[in-house]
Structure 1
């Protein structure tokens, strides 16, 4: 599949989706369409066990969604296509990791929030400046409270000030901050931890975590987790994992 504004690579179980609109990797309508096509393809590809999302170059992960695309006839089309990206990430069926190699502002910061995990350069900056333009960051409004709690979500979405990578880690927007020179190796090492595991087991764990997050009642979340726990331990790979442990050998996954 040929793309103009993103690149997609697949190697050794790792899918890499790179926003490629330098210097700031601003997402316009056409890029968002390509991102959704790529996410659909990555979801369907059984050889891919984890997806890394990053920006090209060293300046920016993404500085957001094109300002001009917030005006006129392109505005509703762009916002809808942007929203589809987050459904694509949620329905990926495998972990997604944002690799934040520079500024992540506006829609770029929301893209970090939409991934399952995130690892960041210590030089990265984050922010939701939409309110300063009189607008709303819809995905941040939907996701930030779940990630970091209401107080910080209100602060970042309603004030629109930038914040550091260290602060992003403190409020759990990113899992880990590393020196800028170590970011690529750290991201590859994190992805490798998923590649070595059974894909079906990781998928079911991911499903259980999302279902728990979506459940308003503790009892419902617990029942869903128990049901998925049973389903997970009934898989061929779970049996292989247990037997390999008992036999003191490395497991051979079938992803079944």
Structure 2
């Protein structure tokens, strides 16, 4: 009799233990499925399959940045090269000192605050204020100044830090799509280390493709960006980063 009771108790204990293990396993899976991943907390490679959807955090850890760049623009009219020192505060200010790479002279200074911009040049005898979108034409440096702060920091444009992505096995990337102001759509692809690898910004008039490479390990910022216009494939812009500083705050002197 005692033996039978002991067997029943043992079966009951084993059954309860199995149920508890399954319950804990299910809770663990649920917790992990809902938890955003990030470069500091990536998903294990063996768990990444085609079509897997996860919320991913792409976050800038530095309030201030000073970035030294060399910008090369190739057009049917010829080639232009500039050295541009950029000082920026996250989501608020972008200041740029622009020099001609060929002759080594300061072309001028530009500042972007929100959608507004200003450019001053002693060399050209010019003082200008207007829209950030028009600054490229004014300076001759054909880059999307309204987005340049985000692009150089490897961040998404006009988006929350945490977005839902779907894994694309064919291209080995995490992909998300969203809309922004100005009737524009943005497609972003992250590599397996969750750094921006490719971005497309499109509107009814133009499509801009941006390729990122050579990520800086300390900051996660790209060291090389290449921009191409779909309507004018012969037109390309290359931005090479030579140095990144993040101590800040930095002076952004500007006056007419």
Using the size of structure 2 for normalisation, the TM-score is 0.27
Higher helix share: 1
Please state which structure has a larger fraction of its residues in strand. Answer: 2
Q: Which has the higher contact order (CA 8 A, sep 6+)?
A: 2
TM-score by length of 1: 0.27
From the CA coordinates, give the structure whose radius of gyration is larger: 2
